[in-house]
Structure 1
Amino acid sequence: MPRLTLQGAGPSLAFVPPAYTPWLRRAISLLIPLLLRRRGVQQVRPEGVEDLARLYAAQQQGRIRLLVAFRHPSTRDPLLMAWLLWHALPRAARRIGLELRRPVHCQFLYDRGIPLWAGALVGWVLSHLGGIAIQRGKLDRQALRAARDLAVHGPFPLAIAPEGATNDHGELISPLEPGLAQMAFWACEDLEAEGREERVMVVPLGLRYGLRRPDWTRIDRFLALLEGRLGLEAKPAAASDGSEARYGRFLAVAEGLLIALEGFYGRAHGLVLEPTGTFQDRLTSLRHRVLEMAERPFGLRSQGSLQDRCRRIEQAAWERMYRADLDALSPVDRSLADWTAAEAALALGHMRLVEPFAAISGTYVAAKPSPDRYAELLQILWRAVVWIEGRPEDPPPDLGPLQARIRLGTPIDVTARRGDYRRDRRRAVEDLTTAVGRGLEEAIADPA
């Protein structure tokens, strides 16, 4: 969960164009195995990479234009994608006798906010790896034009995460945004306008992480640590089989945090929250009321999905925090601009606090009380706790090394849907987005 520190209003957010730099890719390629290990990923299991190599070969031969729709559960995903493309894919191609032209790479969209909270160096690296920075809360025409051009004329496939942001759930996909589907149909239009015969293909790519050696003892210690942070009575460790006692402790921790937030927003902000009902009803009420509070200073309407509302709040805050008119302001107005920026940052902080709970449901762990699902939700709760405490950089307790799985879904021929797009553009985009979602579900599902 990023935390943005702002001293005052800053200059407006300029478009960051892609500036692919081959030597940087080569240098980082050498570091990828080490960087993955530092992020806890000890083993990677790729599945279906030979089919992805065939698709890459088809693009290099001028037969298709390829868009990669990848799952985005974690901030580790860029490292995993880099390992796949720069290490695993060339090896897979050699195994099946394919000669892929080097470098094997992709260009990609990334959130314009990443350099703001991760630092200018990270932004520079993303740009010089060919990334296209996009502001998610508005119609970013410059970024869309750049991505559309690369989808048809770029030297590499284009990778997009249709979920738009991480949700920290290995087995739960967030609602997909329609941007990838629209980009694919634009590519069809542009190829047709140029008289080119390449077909546009979208390939879903499932990324999923899990504990390599699940350890219930570590999970119980994690629970005990959160119980202490929330002032709850420490409970004895559960049996090693994921028992009802452990689930009861987990629910107590989740409800303890919910009660703390309900009390804070009721006392400090006068929010009227759902006093009774299920945990999920109360969590939904809290999210809605806090987002309403964050929307109010910006004059935003409370409509659309939770993700849409968060994007609009973020964009409205940025417009007050990063301004093009600072040089023209008087000293007093410049100081007031700093005040405005600080108030916008505070509203953005409230949105950031409830945003991680977007995908939390009352059934995710109950339906499958696995160590992986416990680990995912406990880490979400941990990030909320350290965010409140003002220490967002504090890492969660170590639950052991991770293994990552990369699996290719069934490729989707978008050109074959071109007639549907001509007849009804909105419906065609919705149908393609649904098909991509099914492909991602297939790619992250447990083996039969």
Structure 2
Amino acid sequence: MIYQAQPPLEFIPPAFNPLFLRFFHSFLPLWLRSQTTINHIEAENVEVLVKLYREFQEKKIRFLLAFRHPQTEDPFSLVYLLSQIVPRVARQQSITLESPIHAHFIYDRGIPLWAGGYVGWLASQLGGTPIQRGKADWTGLRSARDLFANGKFPMAAAPEGATNGLSEKMSPLEPGIAQMGFWCAEDLQKAGRTEQVLIVPVGIKYSYVDAPWGAIAQLLDELAVASGLPVDTTANTQVPDLESLYPRLLTLAEHLLSLMEQFYTRFYHLQLSVVTEEVGVDRNEALKLRLQALLNAALQIAEQYFNIQSKGSLSDRCRRVEQAGWNYIFREDYKDIKGLSAVERALGDRVAEEANARMWHMRLVESFVAVSGNYIREKPTVERFAETVLIVWQMLAKIQGAKSFQRPKLGKQKVKITIGKPLSITEMYPKYKESRLGARQAVADFTNDLQQAMDNLL
């Protein structure tokens, strides 16, 4: 949390350091084992990626890895893929690739604000370039555009824009990846270069080595206690499984929704339509309807304060609120902060504190943007159950003002990375350049194609 007004956020320029990358590659396996739940990473269709890197190094193509982003650990799995698995498969195929195998990447400029300033330095040394998501960040866009067309390595970015906590459910893709691809094609054409431009969908899926039902049951107990529900001690005599834990999860969700509905109704004077089983709706459907109404109301609290219209998807609305909050905290008129009077600085701090308070509502919402209400029912697996419980845990952590959001480690996991069929930007470029309307339609069409391709990797 930032409670004082600040000068504008500075751009962190990419400053790729090959020596630091070498150290990072050597340290990564140990870090994965000691700091994450990941104990195995495997990949499918790596031969496709080997071929792409060979053609990239032969200056035949430029490409971007568009990867799924269910968890914060995803980038580390991708670095492991590029540094360990791709070189191994290349050797098996007797294909020589220049070392290192790496990718420039785009990351959210807000990450160093909550993860620590050192993260911005690390990302810079690894060749990453930041972007502010909720506005037209021309400095960030120019840097990413230049790296795509001229960088030493291919690009990598998450077209969903943020993590959603769900391995088997995609959030709607943002159009930025398609736009970056067309800009790259445009820049290459202007420079008289003949490289083809490709976007490569990459799936990332997590599964547990052993089903951690015991750890899930314990976490449900902790969440029940935190939210004021009694813990059923008789359940401790049973072997936990989905059948026994699912009713407990529904009860917890219903209780938390009731608490939040009362909170927003009493203290923010909002009218929330309450859906119950009496109107013929089953528990899951009632939860879904109540959750959507609550998320909408919570966002409205922030939107009204920042004078933002409530339009678009929940994700779009969250990004606009986030950027409005950053604008109140990181002030263009505070570039010369030492020149401000004590009263001006105090007033600025008051605005920053209030902006943080309003952004808190948005942070609750962004945890639930991909929650559908039937994620577990449509495929009742331990992975889906655990992911849902962890989302609830994250919500309670935010409500209680936790300074760290290190998720509980329920059990060891394995990661499967799947390389999809590359999609050609170059083939659609003629439509993009024919007119402004054609450009917008080409971006929309390519984004839809990419969404479908990534959905197929689930």
Q: TM-score range by the shorter chain?
A: over 0.9
Q: One-letter code of the match for 1:179?
A: G
Q: CA deviation at 1:188?
A: 1.2
1:116 aligns with 2:113: yes
1:87 aligns with 2:95: no
Could you tell me how far apart the structure 1 residues matched to 2:90 and 2:382 are? 35
1:242 aligns with 2:242: yes
Q: Secondary structure at the match of 1:10?
A: coil
Q: Secondary structure at the match of 2:98?
A: coil
Could you tell me how far apart the structure 2 residues matched to 1:7 and 1:46 are? 44
Q: Secondary structure at the match of 2:242?
A: coil
User: CA, structure 1 residues 41+260, in 2 after alignment: closer, same or farther (shift >3 Å)?
Assistant: same
Q: Secondary structure at the match of 2:411?
A: coil
How many aligned positions are there? 439
2:106·2:157 contact (CA, 8 Å) conserved in 1? yes
Q: One-letter code of the match for 1:138?
A: K
Could you tell me how far apart the structure 2 residues matched to 1:44 and 1:62 are? 30
State the match for 1:369 in structure 2. Answer: 380
Please give the residue correspondences for 1:422-441 in structure 2 after superposition, counting only pairs within 5 Å. 422-423=433-434, 424-441=438-455
1:18 aligns with 2:32: no
State the match for 2:208 in structure 1. Answer: 211
User: Is there any run of 5+ residues in structure 2 with no aligned partner, and where?
Assistant: 277-285
Q: One-letter code of the match for 1:435?
A: D
State the match for 1:166 in structure 2. Answer: 163
Please give the residue correspondences for 1:192-207 in structure 2 after superposition, counting only pairs within 5 Å. 192-207=189-204
1:420 aligns with 2:455: no
> Identical aligned pairs, as a percentage?
43
Could you tell me how far apart the structure 2 residues matched to 1:431 and 1:239 are? 49
2:3·2:356 contact (CA, 8 Å) conserved in 1? no
CA deviation profile, 1:398-428 (whole Å, cap 9, x unmatched): 3210111111011112111122223411111
Q: CA deviation at 1:78?
A: 1.5
Q: CA deviation at 1:394?
A: 6.0
2:44 to 24, 42, 47: 47
Q: One-letter code of the match for 2:349?
A: D
CA deviation profile, 1:108-155 (whole Å, cap 9, x unmatched): 110000111111111100111111110000001111111111111111
CA deviation profile, 1:298-320 (whole Å, cap 9, x unmatched): 11111111111111111111111
State the match for 2:279 in structure 1. Answer: none
1:8·1:338 contact (CA, 8 Å) conserved in 2? yes
State the match for 1:267 in structure 2. Answer: 266
Q: One-letter code of the match for 1:15?
A: F
Could you tell me how far apart the structure 1 residues matched to 2:164 and 2:329 are? 26
Q: One-letter code of the match for 1:429?
A: V
Could you tell me how far apart the structure 2 residues matched to 1:142 and 1:391 are? 33
Could you tell me how far apart the structure 2 residues matched to 1:159 and 1:94 are? 23
Q: One-letter code of the match for 2:245?
A: R
CA deviation profile, 1:235-276 (whole Å, cap 9, x unmatched): 326665522x42211111111111111111122221221222
Deviating more after overlay: 268-277 vs 230-239: 230-239
Q: CA deviation at 1:376?
A: 0.4
Could you tell me how far apart the structure 1 residues matched to 2:301 and 2:212 are? 41
Q: CA deviation at 1:392?
A: 4.4
Q: CA deviation at 1:443?
A: 2.1
State the match for 1:297 in structure 2. Answer: 305
Q: Secondary structure at the match of 1:44?
A: strand
Q: Secondary structure at the match of 2:348?
A: helix
Q: Secondary structure at the match of 1:208?
A: strand
User: CA, structure 1 residues 368+127, in 2 after alignment: closer, same or farther (shift >3 Å)?
Assistant: same
TM-score, normalisation: structure 1: 0.95
Could you tell me how far apart the structure 1 residues matched to 2:246 and 2:406 are? 23
State the match for 2:4 in structure 1. Answer: 8
Q: Secondary structure at the match of 2:292?
A: helix
Q: One-letter code of the match for 1:8?
A: Q
User: CA, structure 1 residues 13+397, in 2 after alignment: closer, same or farther (shift >3 Å)?
Assistant: closer
Could you tell me how far apart the structure 2 residues matched to 1:86 and 1:397 are? 28
CA deviation profile, 1:382-406 (whole Å, cap 9, x unmatched): 0111221122426444321011111
Q: CA deviation at 1:217?
A: 2.5
CA deviation profile, 1:70-118 (whole Å, cap 9, x unmatched): 1111100111111111111111111111111111110011000011111
Could you tell me how far apart the structure 2 residues matched to 1:367 and 1:354 are? 23
1:283 to 291, 306, 329: 291
Q: CA deviation at 1:63?
A: 0.7
State the match for 2:60 in structure 1. Answer: 63
1:399 to 405, 410, 426: 410
